[in-house]
Chain A
Amino acid sequence: MAKLGEYEPVVGKSVVEELFLLAGHLKGRVMQHVNSTAVGGGVAEILNRLIPLFRDLGVEARWDVIKGDEEFFVITKKFHNMLHGRMEKLTKEDIEYFEEVGDFNLKEINFSGDFIFIHDPQPVTLIKKKAEVGRKWVWRCHIDSASAESSLWNYLAGYIKDYDAAIFSTMAFSKDLPCRQVIISPSIDPVSDKNKYLDQEFINRVLERFQIDKDRPIITQISRFDYQKDPLGVIKVYRLVKKRVDCQLVLAGGGATDDPEGQKILEMVREESKDDPDIHVLLLPPASDKDINALQRASNVILQKSLREGFGLTVAEALWKEKPVVASAVGGIPLQVVHNYTGLLSHTVEGTAGFVKQLLQNPEHAKKLGTNGREHIRQNFLVTRHIRDYLLLMLSLEKEGDFIYL
């Protein structure tokens, strides 16, 4: 289990000391997180890392997962897509069933935290319990909701308004809401299997296992198989690059239990790539963090060609490994990729391919972007900053004012 002391060599002693100082003001408090999946996807990953660290700080942290069947998750996947601005057919029956499952979970979960953090729309209706149990309630939105479909947003806002605060990953996702709106970017964990240093021997073994040639350039996108991550667009990019540079493409990712669309997209990707042995489509099981780490470290360029993105933690992971990144200018990605300084931002298949070629043929420029990228992540997107923001939010829910002396 990770301890905060492990982070000192990465972020500096003063940053870790600051966290203990802040946590000292929250001694004895309990934070309770509720989301919809224990494995797969960014939310479960962040909670898995954050919870032991809060405990190390002396702040008790608990985590509950709501129960839902396939029908429920098909409905919430529609929510997810609609919050990203995609059209979906949402029926009155869908909403009724969504609320029914929410009411079932109201009885299942013991709401014992002083601060209750509800993650994303799936468990949003649990706020109904506030009238009975009191406590401070926070809704954490991990989704790029900037272009959310308005009727769905208005429906959800009917619940969100009752929270004490809502958290968005970037300012652009914030809304016109009567409750406080705090901006907290997600983060990556530099000492986790996904991001820690790996020696070249281990990396080579992983490449061998997946039959990837270590002597030719590798372009990689690590993502769930999701329409919004545009894996078919990535294949198009690769084909344009391949005309000029003999390279390989790795499309690797896992599935999430709350994403029933994934299998369909994976099949489309496999169909599209079946005739090209240089395209490696890898569906990775949940415990593949070290393999993902190795694939990122082995890559010459990392892509994140998302059409929509909540934040895009895979970009931060790549930058932390000093990799040159070409990523779409959507969601939270421009916060991580400052164009031409920490990576390159693109808007089209052709533009992405052009940038990839540029980076493959100019390794010095690529290296400089990677070096800047790592420093940018160190300063702004590591888990220690994330913990700090959560501690500050809890303190701000207990103390009033814009200037608070502790």
Chain B
Amino acid sequence: MGNRKKAQSSFLFYTKLDLVEALGKKAKNLQELLGFLKEVPSSSIYFHTHRYLRQHHFLSPEPPNDFAYWARGILGDKLLAEKLFSLDILDFKNLEELRSALIEIIEGYLATNPESMKWSVLSGYEFHFAKSITFVLPLGIEVWTLEEFLEAMKKISIHSLYFHMFDSRLRLGRGENDFSLWLKGELEEYELAVKISNLDPYTNTMEGLRQKMCLLIVKKLHG
């Protein structure tokens, strides 16, 4: 029997739009990259670990972060690229933890491969640091039940999905995605909330993620 419970507080869907701003900092080698990694704002860490998902969300998953992409494609350092690539972003509750992990990987790599500190890329191939300015807008969609939630999930834009899955968890420091928080807190759907939390948005396309979430909800509603 599916959940017919009505929430005390509704779920309001928001969407987000990003404007990209360059920070005027560019690294030509790993040492400079490390230096900037330590000082750029956290919105820059977010930007460089999520940009590919945004720009290529319709493709099969691309290299998940700019650091891995630069290490592999420009520095030609496959070992470091793989270490950066394999970072599981879902393990981190906030961006400062993620920043520390990136720093730790690069520092560890430089300690065991000191010669790689000397490699500098040609002019034009530097790593350019940037950040996003994010605008959040209400979509005007409000739901109270799991059935209404499913219908909304089918039609919201990918940007809305993106906001509730990524931005709220890491940038707004909620520690978990908005969907799971509401399902758990309002509809007492603990199992469904965990299943959605465990979906890996970093190795799915956004459309793939939407389909999997809808399937989980349909199963819950109709068995």
Report Cα–Cα, A22/B159, bound state, in Å.
14
* Partner of A181 from B18, B21, B137 at Cβ < 8 Å: B21
Contact: B19 with A174, CB < 8 Å?
no
The answer to whether B157 has its CB under 8 Å from any CB of chain A is: yes
Selected from B19, B58, B123, B128, the residue in CB contact (under 8 A) with A182 is B19
The yes or no answer to B43 lying at the interface (CB within 8 A) is yes
Chain A residues whose CB sits within 8 angstroms of the CB of B132 once the complex forms: 402
Residue B76 is within 8 A (CB to CB) of chain A in the complex: no
Query: With an 8 A cutoff between CB atoms, is B124 at the interface?
Result: yes
Complex Cα distance, B56 from A403, in Å, reads 23
Asked if A91 is an interface residue, CB under 8 A from chain B, the answer is no
Interface check B108, CB cutoff 8 A: no
How many chain-A residues does the 8 Å CB contact rule pick out? 37
The CA-CA distance from A287 to B57 in the complex, in Å, is: 37
For residues 11 through 30 of chain A, which have their beta carbon under 8 Å from a beta carbon of chain B?
12, 14-15, 18, 21-22
Residues of B with C-beta under 8 A to A395: 135
Asked whether any CB of chain B lies closer than 8 Å to the CB of A388, the reply is yes
A-B pairs with CB below 8 Å: how many? 84
Contact A180 B21 (CB under 8 A): yes
**Does B22 lie at the interface of the complex (its beta carbon under 8 Å from any beta carbon of A)?**
yes
Q: In the complex the two chains form, what is the Cα distance from A147 to B126 in whole Å? A: 13
Contacts A172-B128, A174-B128, A176-B24 known; A406 to B19 CB distance under 8 Å?
A: no
Q: In the complex the two chains form, is B22's CB within 8 Å of A402's CB?
A: no
Interface residue A149 (Cβ < 8 Å from any Cβ of B): no
Residue among B57, B59, B171 making CB contact with A403, cutoff 8 Å:
B171
Q: Which of A351-404 contact B (CB under 8 A)?
A: 372, 375, 379-380, 388-389, 392-393, 395-396, 401-404
Q: Are A402 and B134 in contact (CB under 8 A)?
A: yes
- Would B133 and A402 count as touching, CB distance under 8 A? yes
- Give B25's nearest chain A residue, CB to CB: A176
Residue in B20, B23, B41, B136 whose beta carbon sits within 8 Å of that of A406 in the complex: B136
Query: Known interface pairs A172-B124, A180-B21, A181-B24. Does A402 touch B131 (Cβ–Cβ under 8 Å)?
Result: yes
Residues of B within 8 A of A181 (CB): 21-24
Q: For residue A175, which residues in chain B have a CB less than 8 angstroms away from its CB?
A: 24
Q: In the bound complex, what is the Cα–Cα distance between A180 and B20 (angstroms)? A: 11
Q: Residues of A contacting B126 with CB < 8 Å?
A: 172
In the bound complex, residues from chain A placing their C-beta under 8 Å from that of B135 are 22, 392, 395-396, 404-406
Contact A14 B157 (CB under 8 A): yes
* Among candidates B19, B55, B131, residue contacting A392 with C-beta atoms closer than 8 Å: B19
Q: Which residue of B has the minimal Cβ distance to A178?
A: B24
The answer to the question of A183 belonging to the interface, with a C-beta cut-off of 8 Å to chain B, is yes
Q: Which residues of B contact A146 (CB under 8 A)?
A: 124
Residue of A nearest to B47 (CB): A402
Q: Check B133–A171 contact: CB distance below 8 A.
A: no
Identify B19's interface contact among A21, A380, A393, CB under 8 A. Answer: A393
What chain B residues lie within 8 Å of A15 (beta carbons)?
A: 157
Residues of A contacting B134 in the complex (Cβ-Cβ under 8 angstroms): 402-404
**Contact yes or no, A403 B128, CB < 8 A:** no
Contact residue among B22, B56, B57, B172 (Cβ-Cβ distance under 8 Å from A174): B22
Interface residues of B in 101-136 (CB under 8 A from A): 123-124, 126, 128, 130-136
Q: How far is the CA of A392 from the CA of B22 in the complex (A)?
A: 15
- In the complex, which residues of chain B have a beta carbon less than 8 angstroms from the beta carbon of A380? 55
Contact pattern, B 19-46, Cβ under 8 Å of A = 1, otherwise 0 = 1111110000000000000000101000
Can you sample 30 A-B contacts with CB below 8 Å? A18-B137, A18-B157, A146-B124, A168-B22, A171-B20, A172-B126, A174-B22, A174-B128, A175-B24, A177-B24, A183-B20, A183-B22, A375-B58, A379-B56, A389-B19, A392-B19, A392-B133, A392-B135, A393-B19, A396-B19, A402-B41, A402-B43, A402-B131, A403-B133, A403-B171, A404-B134, A404-B135, A404-B136, A405-B135, A406-B136
Closest 3 CB pairs of A and B: A174-B22, A171-B128, A392-B19
